Amino acid sequence: MMKLSRRNSLIVTIPLVAVVAAWVFLVFLPIQKAIARLQDEAKQMQQYCDRSSSLLPVLKRTGRELAGTRGGIIAHWKDTVPTRRDLPALLGKITALARSTGLRTTRFDPEPIIAHERIARVPLSMEVTGPFPRLFTFLGKLEKMPQTIWIEHLGIEKSKKDRENISCQIRLAIFMDNPEDSDQRKLVDNR
């Protein structure tokens, strides 16, 4: 009878141990690993939040500096941007600048104004001849003008007539306010 009871006990105990072992390996340990992984992620997120909160004053200061810089740039733009009425005088200043540096203007072709969303661009093609140092001086003075003028193309070659001089083809873009704040590119002069 004792053998039978022991045998019955083993029949119950072995499957019970197998079920418990399977539950431990298939359910409990994977859940523990997932919990540990989630705890690590939560710890990393907490550290990230702690670091981020220390950056808040820096972010606010940078925002104020950016607003001040934007305000300064906008104020500078408003003070220096040419209007349609100022354009002939500005073109005259550019030719006078070339002449004052000792260059001879052989071509000067302002093109129609191209309006963009908020600004307008005035393309200007010109050609000057003279010694290279004077051309260099002219370009430096052109860049120091308060108006926004970009040099889009610059081509230099030896003058065919005079060996000491060079010929320079320049394509400029002069920027000004778009008087109509258009939302698409169109020629302002055609209205």
Assessment of whether the complete model's pTM goes beyond 0.75: no
Mark which of 45, 80, 115 sits at the end of a domain: 80
Considering only residues 122 and 9, tell me which one the structure prediction assigns the higher pLDDT.
122
Residue 111 pLDDT exceeds 70: yes
Least confident of 27-36, 110-119, 136-145, 157-166: 157-166
Model pLDDT, residue 153: 95
Which of 50, 80, 110 finishes a domain?
80
Asked if 109 and 180 sit in the same domain, the reply is: yes
Report the CATH number that the domain containing residue 98 is assigned in CATH: 3.30.70.60
Last residue of a domain, one of 48, 80, 112: 80
40-49, 62-71, 112-121, 174-183, range with the lowest pLDDT: 174-183
Distance separating alpha carbons of residues 61 and 91, to the nearest angstrom = 42
Number of domains in the chain: 2
Same domain (yes/no): 33, 100: no
User: Residue 131 pLDDT > 90, yes or no?
Assistant: yes
- Considering the domain architecture, whether residues 67 and 123 belong to the same structural domain is answered as no
What are residue 160's phi and psi, to 5 degrees? -75, -25
Same domain, yes or no: 73 and 128: no
**Do 177 and 118 have their domain in common?**
yes
For 108, the domain range is 87-190
pLDDT tens per residue, range 43-93? 998 888 877 777 788 888 888 888 888 788 777 777 778 888 888 899 999
Do 94 and 176 lie in one domain? The reply is: yes
Q: What is the mean pLDDT of residues 17-40?
A: 87
DSSP assignment of the chain equals -HHHHHHHHHHHHHHHHHHHHHHIIIIIHHHHHHHHHHHHHHHHHHHHHHHHHHHHHHHHHHHHHHHHHHHHHHHHHHHH---TTTHHHHHHHHHHHHHHTT-EEEEEEE---EE-SSEEEEEEEEEEEE-HHHHHHHHHHHHTSSS-EEEEEEEEEE-SS-TT-EEEEEEEEEEEE-TT--SS-EEGGG-
Indicate whether 70 and 131 sit together in one domain: no
Torsion of CA 37, 40, 44, 49, to 10 degrees: 100
| 64 and 96 belong to one structural domain | no
Q: Examine the domain organization and report whether 99 and 162 are in the same domain.
A: yes
> Same domain, yes or no, for 136 and 67?
no
Structural contact between residues 146 and 98, judged by C-beta atoms closer than 8 angstroms: no
Mean pLDDT of the chain: 83
List the beta bridge partners of residue 152: none
Q: Which of 5-9, 103-107, 173-177, 182-186 has the lowest mean pLDDT?
A: 182-186
Examine the domain organization and report whether 115 and 146 are in the same domain.
yes
**Please, which residues have CB within 8 angstroms of residue 77's CB and are 6 or more apart in sequence?**
148
142 with 92, same domain: the answer is yes
